[in-house]
Structure 1
Amino acid sequence: MSSVQEKKNDAVVAHDEHGHHHHPKLDAKTKAIINADAKLANPLRGVPHDRLMADVEVFAKERGLTHILPDLQKGAIVAQDPEAYNRLDMFTEEDRRVLREEVTHKWKQTGTLYYMVVMASLAAAVQGMDEAVINGAQILYPAQFGIGDSTSKRDGWLIGVINSAPYLCCATISCWLTDPLNQWLGRKKTIFLTCLISFLTCIWSGLTNTWWHLFIARFFLGFGIGPKSATVPVYAAECSPAPIRGALVMMWQMWTAFGIFIGDLIDLVFYFIPDRPGVTGLNWRLMLGSAGIPGLLVCLQVLWAPESPRWLISKGRYEEAFNELCRLRFSRVQAARDLYYIHVLLEAENEMKKGRNRFVEMFTIPRNRNAAIASWVVMFGQQFCGVNVIAYYSSNIFLQSGFNQVSALAASLGFGALNWLFALPAVFTIDTFGRRNLLLFTFPCMCICLLITGFSFWDGFEQGRVAGVSIGIYLFAVFYSPGEGPVPFTYSAEAFPLYIRDIGMSFATATTWFWNFVLSITWPSLVLAFKPQGAFGWYAAWCAILWVLILLFVRETKGKTLEELDQVFAVPARVHAAYGLRQIPYGIKKFLLFQNPVPEELYMPESDSEASSGVDEQSRREVKEDVEKA
């Protein structure tokens, strides 16, 4: 084994028979982030028992919670050490049973928690239904509004503007209202307001009689979509217990796909509704109006759901937060544990934020900048892989391939069903195969599927053309749903360090909505200019480009702790890009030549790296001291 080679401002690299192991040489700011993230990961770590009990007693007196002091003391002990209940006599058998079942029966949760999950799922379905109903309505309303000429460049742009109106609002205005709305109203009232806006604007859309009026109605729909898309996942995360938090946060994407499926089904059913005296286009009006129904259902139930305990604590409403936690958990010990833990975590976060411009630090500190680049790539890729071309325009695409209107709507329903069904396994695959590996596998497959779809339009036989387009679009849904569907929101939520995570998610969400707008507004003109073959080839090319960007800039986050993620994202971008390029011959040997090459490890945990590279105990102590000083 070779000695350690230090490269200035780069990385410490240890070479052995198993490949290259890169251990980043951390700058002072990154060390400070690691130290801070370690504190945020568990602010109670290392606090002596006597001091912990004294701190809890002071906390109870200051917050008017002395009547639950015994519960708070037990809760603080478990928050510091999750296994302490097995060793201490102060815990009853009932306490032990409940705390043990958190691990052994993690899906055994209170009815209130699952009630909250259903409500959040309906809120996600609003967005999915809107994407689908405009897909069906646009084969009907353009003719009524005088913009139905498929050969007119002007009409193509107008249809694109109408379809993309909500996402223009999301990218430019509404996403940036998320923070003030949550600060003023709280999580569930923000969800109530945005779902009410969604319901009213969907009804408004169904009552319009000109293209510009429909554009205005759909633009205001963006005020219901943008803040909701950022608030609902946060609300679910703040109410959920840690063992199932990731799975519940992923429900946003899964039930968005379910909303697309239901919207496609409604398009097919409502297509056959005839006009009434004095009402033309009743079918497409009902399609657009129906997308607001899930929002109305959310409005009718969300005010009875629990408020986010974290938000209540941030407003100093500790008694209410404890009561809500008692509704969400089985025992008072669990509620007291989460109450005190959230309190100390918020205290640590507030201490970190003093005097710091977190938005600037997201791009100036290399560790944060690497996370922002990776998040931007996966969020941009979620749109420019071409999925929403199909979600918004599949009915028109099937019409162009030779379907009649009813068959086109039925074919779109097939896409919606596959998009939802293949999103279900993502709960398991995302943590089994890893985020980066899923993307690297599925993007080439999506590229091929788009080429099949586009090239099928050259088939002179209608049956062959219809079959090719259908197969290409359906297989695209199969590969998109477990990969680029759930990965971007999950990846962005974990890539950023805790102290800038809210800002990082705002950046990520605005990114996806902006490119959603660009994609949806340009597709009609793109098809007109380059024909379906060129338009699908354009997004197939982007799938190939995105595969390269993922290979070079997206790091794997599966199964990593906060401290490990800081080390992973501290690896310089050029070092990771070189590692990605070296993976190409490895992949060729393994998957094409069926050889068994030894995989290269880009990064090893600090203890392993030090052991293999011969870093002595004195050096290890110096690194530890540097981190503590930073």
Structure 2
Amino acid sequence: MENQGSTLFVYKITLVAAVGGLLFGYDTAVIAGAIGFLQIKFDLSPSMVGWIASCALVGCIFGALFAGPLSDWLGRKKILVLSAILFGISSVGIAVPSDLNWFVFFRIIGGLGIGIASMLAPMYITEIAPAEKRGRLVSINQLGIVTGILLIYFVNAKIAGLYNESWNVETGWRWMFGSGIFPSVLFLVLLFFVPESPRWLAKQGRNEEALAILSKINGPEKAGAELIEINQGVFSESASFSEIFKPGIRKALVAGIFLAMFSQITGINAIMYYAPEIFKSTGDGSDSALLQTILVGVVNFLFTLVAIKYVDKLGRKVLLLAGSAGMTLCLALIGGAFYLGLAKGYLVLISILAYIAFFALSLGPLAFVVIAEIFPNRTRGRAMSLCVFALWIFVFIVSQCFPILLELIGNAYTFWIFMLMSLFAFLFVWKFIPETKEKSLEEMEKLWL
């Protein structure tokens, strides 16, 4: 047993990092329950609805962009602590804003925390995880995200049900955002009980500390060999920013950016952020729409568990292909239901739930898995920052444009646009994404050369 390392130690670290994913999901999805009340309180136009729903994403974009360089400089753990602090500041600040400008300011502060956690949590897990368990462990970060989404859907519904609509318009939405202080403090406290990334430590020349952590993960015998391999990867070339544009790594960067893009332009956050408003458009009342939104969160959670179970058995590519094909079919049905006037009833709800299931099996967890593992150690921070930066740009575009598209071209054609994007995602994965299961992080570069 001494030479096998501690599975419990690895899972403990992974679960703490996944609380960052929980905060990511909690803070991004809180807007779903609040946006209808904010629209009434501030008399928002469709374009302003889009801005209020997506303003946090401005912070996400810059948080993701700078998380990599900052974590390369100061370490993964310290920058994750920074993300927890930013979450907490945002939660308290939004609970007491006097006007819309302060709301936007504190949402952007929270967005910085989301952007940092969205990039660093999966990267940190990737750098800790043994190769044969990496897909499952990085997918646990996505489980954290969907748990956060599901949790805030319940919290939103509970708060919205406390009093009448006028109370929600004035006060309820503040409680929804303010509740984020609790997971923020939890994340901050737990981070003091996990180690720094051994690959970052090796990069800093702190080999004894790196070896101690690797020994706990893989056992002493395997840890020594892995540390040698890590150091060869770190020091074989200089890690300048321009290196990520060299042949091999450049190809991986393009694949990572496109995978990040497809994980968003297929419509997931249009549904996650606006689910209650979509269900209201089918004729359901506010209470029913919030309950249906909870169903979306439950399905998202359950099928993420399925992805975690099979990602290291079936591989990344099989699940990505199956998921994007299923999403294409479901989005075609949703668009068709609105086009043919069949939105009332259960067709839209069932199709949305099936779409969420296929997304949770594939692009949801696996976009982060693949992006976190396809880059060599010396460039991972910078390259992942660019990929997640691109991801948040497309989240912003979708979130900003969705209410405008609904007004301009209607529900049917909007969902059919997402259907086409899902079809393109299928073709892209089929042609350009290699299988990466069970390969060490130091072997990844060879896949692209």
CA contact (8 A) 2:275 2:293 kept: yes
1:96-135 counterparts in 2 under 5 A? Answer: 97-99=1-3, 101=4, 109-110=7-8, 112-135=9-32
Q: Check the 8 A contact 1:442/1:479 in 2, yes or no.
A: yes
> In the alignment, residue 140 of structure 1 is paired with which amino acid?
F
Give the match for residue 59 of structure 2. Answer: 169
Is the counterpart of residue 210 in structure 1 residue 91 in structure 2?
no
Q: Does 1:286 align with 2:175?
A: yes
What does 1:241-280 correspond to in 2, within 5 Å? 241-274=130-163
TM-score, normalised on structure 1? 0.65
Q: How does 1:117-156 map to 2 (within 5 A)?
A: 117-147=14-44, 155-156=45-46
Mean alpha-carbon deviation: is it higher for 176-185 or for 439-448? 176-185
Deviations 1:294-353 (A, max 9, x none): 121111222233333444444455565566667x459xxx35863x55653454244323
Q: Does 1:512 align with 2:405?
A: no
After TM superposition, give the deviation of residue 187 of structure 1 in Å.
2.6
Assess, with a 3 A threshold, how the Cα gap between structure 1 residues 562 and 135 changes in structure 2: closer, same or farther. closer
The structure with the greater share of residues assigned to helix is: 2
Superposed CA offset, 1:137-190 (max 9, x none): 11112211221xxxxxxx11112112212222222x222321343245433222
Within 5 Å, which residues of 2 pair with 1:9-88?
Answer: none
Q: For residue 161 of structure 2, give the secondary structure of its aligned residue in structure 1.
A: coil
Partner residue of 1:383? 264
**What amino acid does structure 1 have at the position aligned with 2:236?**
M
Alignment of 1:174-189 (within 5 A): 174-189=63-78
CA distance, structure 2, for counterparts of residue 362 and residue 311 of structure 1: 18
Q: Structure 1's 239 and 557: CA in aligned 2 closer, same or farther, altered over 3 A?
A: closer
CA distance in 2, matches of 1:548, 1:309: 37
Aligned residues of 1:380 and 1:515 also touching (Cα < 8 A): yes
Q: Give the CA RMSD over aligned residues.
A: 2.9
Distance 2:416 2:14 in 1: 39
Distance 1:553 1:324 in 2: 35
Q: Kindly state the Cα deviation for residue 530 of structure 1 after the two structures are TM-superposed.
A: 0.8
Change (3 A) 1:325 1:492: closer
Query: What do the CA deviations read for 1:56-96 (whole angstroms, capped 9, x no partner)?
Result: xxxxxxxxxxxxxxxxxxxxxxxxxxxxxxxxxxxxxxxxx
Within a 5 Å distance, the mapping from 1:233-244 to structure 2 comes to 233-244=122-133
SS at match of 2:364: coil
Aligned to 1:593: none
1:363 counterpart residue number: 245
The 8 Å contact of residues 352 and 499 in structure 1, kept in 2 or not, is answered as no
Shift of residue 233 of structure 1? Answer: 2.1
Which SS does the other structure have where 2:2 is aligned? helix
> For the structure 1 residues 451 and 343, does the alpha-carbon distance in structure 2 shift closer, same or farther, using more than 3 Å as the test?
closer
* Equivalent pair of 1:136/1:395 in contact (CA under 8 Å): yes
Write out per-residue CA displacement over residues 102-127 of structure 1, whole angstroms, 9 at most, x where no aligned residue: 5xxxxx634x5443333222211011
Q: Distance in 2 between matches of 1:336 and 1:547?
A: 41
Query: How much has 1:292 moved relative to structure 2?
Result: 3.5
Q: 1:276 to 1:411 in 2, by over 3 A?
A: closer
TM-score by length of 2: 0.90
Structure 2 unaligned blocks of 5 or more:
none
Q: Which residue of 2 aligns with 1:493?
A: 372
Contact 1:239–1:308, Cα closer than 8 Å, also in 2: yes
* 1:467–1:275 Cα change, 3 Å: closer
What is the alpha-carbon distance in structure 2 between the residues aligned to residue 440 and residue 183 of structure 1? 33
The alignment covers a number of residue pairs equal to 449
Aligned-partner SS, 2:193: coil
Out of 477, 483, 492, the position equivalent to 2:356 is 477
Instruction: List runs of 5+ in structure 1 lacking aligned partners.
Output: 1-96, 103-107, 148-154, 571-630
Quick check: 1:549 aligned with 2:428? yes
Q: 1:473 to 1:189 in 2, by over 3 A?
A: same
Aligned to 2:277: 396
CA–CA separation in structure 2 for the residues paired with 1:559 and 1:236: 15
Q: How does 1:303-314 map to 2 (within 5 A)?
A: 303-314=192-203
Which structure: larger Rg? 1
Whether contact under 8 Å (2:160, 2:168) holds in the other structure is: no
Query: Where does residue 20 of structure 1 map in the other structure?
Result: none
Partner of 1:409: 290
- Deviation at 1:250? 2.0
- Corresponding residue for 2:49? 159
Q: Which has the higher contact order (CA 8 A, sep 6+)?
A: 2
Q: Does 1:351 align with 2:351?
A: no
Q: Taking structure 1 as reference, are residues 275 and 465 closer, same or farther at Cα in structure 2, changes over 3 Å only?
A: closer
1:347–1:569 distance in 2 versus 1, CA, 3 Å: closer
Counterpart-to-counterpart distance in 2, 1:113 and 1:433: 22
Corresponding residue SS for 2:368: helix
Change (3 A) 1:301 1:431: closer
Once the two structures are TM-superposed, the CA of residue 456 in structure 1 deviates from its matched residue by 1.9
Pick which of 392-401 and 125-134 moved more: 125-134
Q: CA deviation at 1:557?
A: 3.2
Kindly state the Cα deviation for residue 261 of structure 1 after the two structures are TM-superposed. Answer: 1.0
